[in-house]
Amino acid sequence: MKKQLSQNWLISQSWLRFLIIILLVIGVFFRFVNLDKKIYWGDEVFSSLRISGYTQSEMKEQLSNGGLSSIEDLRKYQYPNPQKNTIDTIKGLILEDSQILPLYILITRFWVELFGNSVAVTRSFSAFLSLLTFPCLYWLCQELFKSSLIGWIAIALVAVSPIHLVYAQEARAYSLWIVTILISSVALLRAMRLQTKVSWCIYAITLSLGFYTHLFFTLVAFAQGIYLIAIERFRLSKTLIYYLVSLLAGFISFVPWIWIIITNPQPEAIDWTNAKQTLFSSATRWAGIFSRTFLDLGISPSDPGKLKIALIPFILIILVIILYSIYFLCRRSPKEVWLFVLTLIGSVGVPLLITDFVFEKRYATSRYTLASVLGIQLAVAYLFTTKITSSYTKVWQKKLWSLAAFMIIMSGVISCMLQSKAQIWWNKLPEKYQDFPQIANIISQGNKPLLITDVDNLLPPIEILGHLVVDPKVRFQIVKKNQLPEITNGFTDIYLFLFEPSNLLKAGIEKVYNSKLQQINRFLWKVTKST
């Protein structure tokens, strides 16, 4: 009888792995589908500018001269070209974006040079990196839980996790950051287990890679240190000495870029964090951040309040599952396990929570909390695996937890389906850029269209339009503030694009060229001749 039950369980376990493989295939598909159909938004055009090797000041100086520019002229500042090399890319980061670490930008530049200049190719590197999450996550579960089944469940959760999909399709360093968090965690646990110099050297290398990927990796490394010190019970053991030496080696490798950040600060890059917000706003923001781990219907701040209210029950259920999974992990797993997961969740979560709720800032965003998201997914994977497979769980409880796991998985699949079809999602600031596809479509329909603008900061608005407009006949004319363009003959359709409306340009066009302006949306005006 016992043998028969064992065989039945092996069969069910095989079926579970089969279902997880299907989910993995679905997750891989969603990561690569419609890569070039989504709006290439502000942060991404800044990434591409860095990849090209040009600086923002060079771009502004060369384009804001009142001359006519084509789409190809704009794209010169978005892709690698013979005029700029890797050294220029590093210089651009140092001078204008020192807070952006160079590892992702440099590797992506080589990737685009190898596979070609396009939005799909640029984003495909992040999608490819996101695939490395799966083996790294499985390996981490093996080291942490000593369970392959928990690893498979964790892979299923991450494969269809909407927040992972968001950043797997974005030309930023977040996919690489996730991989470095996982691989450094694996390296640490492996070094603690093996206690060899080689394993600690590997851990030091993973720290160096993480430091050069994202600034917040320093918080993850610090949390790993807290975990190890607690496990060693604050004794200066051999393990702790090896850790400190590895951390020192990794930190020393990062010192040159620390010096660059100190000597070339870019405080304007984080001006958005100075926006004050109430405790209620912070609480709702955090609820949204963590619920997007499993459910994301694309709700943004500009959407009606009724949609947000309708999601409250679902968000509360997800938050309850998250909190219970952490509680269950702490009650049922060894200290070495639950403490690791807690320090991973708290690595970036605690500092951001303090900043948001104590100082009433707005640092908390989904992209900054990815380390915490990984910890949450590990806890939920442990909960579902234990509840569904434990011999101590009653049959009806197993069915209930199986249903809960199914609903969490399906909410992720539905979220990924919606996201894959959308041209613009909440992470791309629809309240700011949702009119851009319409603008690109309107100006592309003209026989010989000209788009005139005196927008002061060309990035990101002009380059976003440059990626959306596909018709080569469109021309752009960019003039400096307080100057009027010289409109040459031959253009049948003339438009004014004003990201920050300039009354001087509008009034000047009407007066000097005897024209009328017809407002199409909040950014676009059509110029028509007065009768």
- Asked whether the predicted pLDDT for residue 275 surpasses 60, the reply is yes
pLDDT digits (tens, 9 = 90+) for 436-493: 999 999 998 888 899 988 887 788 899 999 999 888 899 999 988 778 888 877 787 8
Both 359 and 468 in one domain: the answer is no
Given 376, 395, 428, the domain boundary residue is: 428
- Collapsing DSSP to helix, strand or coil, 37 comes out as coil
Among all chains, which residue has been given the structure tokens 């269209």?
449
In a domain? residue 205: yes
In a domain, 171, yes or no: yes
Kindly report, residue by residue over 71-125, the tens digit of the pLDDT.
999 999 999 988 999 999 999 999 999 999 999 999 999 999 999 999 999 999 9
| Higher per-residue confidence, 168 vs 513 | 168
Q: Which of 405, 428, 451 is the last residue of a domain?
A: 428
Q: Does 383 lie in the same domain as 483?
A: no
Give pLDDT tens digits for 414-432. Answer: 999 999 999 999 999 898 8
Q: What is the pLDDT of residue 372?
A: 97
Same domain, 452 and 385: no
Please indicate, yes or no, whether the overall pTM of this predicted structure exceeds 0.75: yes
The predicted structure's pLDDT at residue 495: 82
For the chain, the average pLDDT equals 90
Domain that holds residue 317: 2-36+128-428
Q: Is 79 inside a domain boundary?
A: no
> Do 417 and 464 share a domain, yes or no?
no
Same domain? 202 vs 270: yes
113 found inside a domain? no
Count each helix (H run) and each strand (E run) in the chain, helices first: 23, 6
pLDDT recorded at residue 10: 44
Indicate the residue among 382, 399, 428 that finishes a domain.
428
How many structural domains compose the chain? Answer: 2
Cα separation values, 505 from 64, 209, 478, 498, 522, Å: 14, 48, 11, 9, 15
Residues 223, 343 contacting (CB under 8 angstroms): yes
Q: What is the pLDDT of residues 191-241, one digit of tens each?
A: 999 999 999 999 999 999 999 999 999 999 999 999 999 999 888 889 999
Whether residues 494 and 423 fall in one domain: no
Q: Is the residue at 244 inside a domain?
A: yes
Given a cut of 80, whether residue 250 has pLDDT beyond it is yes
Does 439 share its domain with 422?
Answer: no
Residue 259 lies in a domain: yes
Q: Which two tokens stand for residue 379?
A: 């806890």
**Within this chain, do residues 478 and 412 fall inside the same structural domain, yes or no?**
no
Rounded to whole angstroms, the Cα distance separating 271 from 515 reads: 39
Query: Tokens standing for 69?
Result: 């520019």
pLDDT at 434 over 60: yes
Do 389 and 443 lie in a common domain? no
Q: Does 91 fall in a domain? A: no
375 and 500, same domain (yes or no): no
Q: 254 and 362 share a domain?
A: yes
Q: Is the Cβ–Cβ distance between 119 and 40 less than 8 Å?
A: yes
Does the pLDDT of residue 156 top 60, yes or no? yes
Domain membership of residue 257 (yes or no) is yes
Tell whether 440 and 397 lie within a shared domain.
no
